[in-house]
Amino acid sequence: MDELLKDVNAWTPLAIAWGSNLLAATIILIVGWWVSAAVGRAVGKAASRSPRIDPTIVPMVRSVAVWAIRIFTLIAVLARFGVQTASLIAVLGAAGLAIGLALQGTLQNISAGIMLLALRPLRAGEYIAIGSSQEGTVQEVGLFLTRLTQADGINISLPNSTVWNATIINYSRHVRRRLDVASVVRYGDDIDLAINTLKALVAKHPLVLQDPAPAVLVTEYRDNGVVVVARVWAEASKHWELTCSLRYEVRKALESAGMRAPVPVRGVEDEEVSSGAAKAPAQSGDLTS
């Protein structure tokens, strides 16, 4: 019994120390995780309230802030148990170097995301095309992925390195976009009437901007007629709506003005008739002689 009491007395301070360290570590872990989540929410709210903050950078900044706090929290937890954090940081640095060499593609995505946020060739809410493969509205540029939403509602996630290395076509960066609507006026129809009809149409269309002034130009000759282009400017957000509207109204206005459908015209000549016509002068000459 005396030996048991001695063992209990010997282990009691150690158990109390470990228990207090475990309790403190648990509290630090819970508080650190809660603070990181609170900081993440605060960053999101600050971005939504301030018009000066570009929403494109919010996801990456939020992720960096959250995980920085969590890493410091884990280091503080390990320090409560007597782990030498200095040596731990050195080991983590060496491990990070090895992992970085093994995950070069992932690090390329991170660096590409930083360059996308720094140079800003795209922003959240803008409609872009990545080369000739993908296009959609930018939702966010994260640490590893850029997320787009297509016009049909399909979500696309692209690695940041793919976006950075591709040609980025931004359709929404400028507030105005030019639109060319081509129509064909058949040979024999009044070309001046067609031009004046289209000028009157674009002058009164509510979606067509009058500055820069719209223009109607003859640009090409084809087998089925003369190509007349209505060149107008519209707000970037109204570009597709105006495109569909003009493609319908241009053809309707030309038909109302008496323009015929621009179908291809081909001359067909019968071989027997043409050969008979060629021989006719000679035969008539024989008769007169």
CATH of the domain at 192: 3.30.70.100
pTM of the model: 0.59
Asked, for residue 276, whether it belongs to a domain, the answer is no
| 141 vs 128: CA distance, rounded Å | 13
Domain that holds residue 137: 122-170
Asked, for residue 112, whether it belongs to a domain, the answer is no
User: Are 95 and 143 members of one domain?
Assistant: no
Number of domains in the chain: 3
Mean pLDDT of 234-263: 90
User: Are 163 and 195 members of one domain?
Assistant: no
Cis peptide before 212 (omega within 30 of 0): yes
pLDDT tops 60 at residue 58? yes
Over the stretch 127-176, which tens digit does the pLDDT of each residue have?
Answer: 999 987 789 999 988 878 899 999 889 999 999 989 999 999 999 889 99
Q: Which two tokens stand for residue 21?
A: 């360290």
User: Are 130 and 202 members of one domain?
Assistant: no
Q: Which pLDDT value is given to residue 105?
A: 65
Query: Which residues, in sequence order, are bridge partners of residue 229?
Result: 182, 217
| 41 vs 46: CA distance, rounded Å | 9
Q: Which pLDDT value is given to residue 103?
A: 52
By percentage, how much of the chain surpasses pLDDT 70?
74
What lies within 8 Å, CB to CB, of 216 at 6+ separation is: 195, 198, 199, 202, 228, 229, 230, 231
Asked, for residue 238, whether it belongs to a domain, the answer is yes
Asked, for residue 113, whether it belongs to a domain, the answer is no
Asked, for residue 286, whether it belongs to a domain, the answer is no
Asked, for residue 52, whether it belongs to a domain, the answer is yes
User: Are 16 and 96 members of one domain?
Assistant: yes
Q: Which pLDDT value is given to residue 289?
A: 35
| 189 vs 224: CA distance, rounded Å | 12
Q: Which two tokens stand for residue 289?
A: 């002689």
CATH at residue 155: 2.30.30.60
pLDDT tops 80 at residue 106? no
DSSP string, 62-86: HHHHHHHHHHHHHHHHHHHTT--HH
Give the confidence band of 115 by pLDDT, cuts at 50, 70, 90: confident
User: Are 30 and 75 members of one domain?
Assistant: yes
Q: Which pLDDT value is given to residue 108?
A: 82
CB-count exposure of residue 74 (10 Å: 0-12, 13-18, 19+): middle
| Residue at which a domain ends, from 69, 102, 135 | 102
User: Are 18 and 98 members of one domain?
Assistant: yes
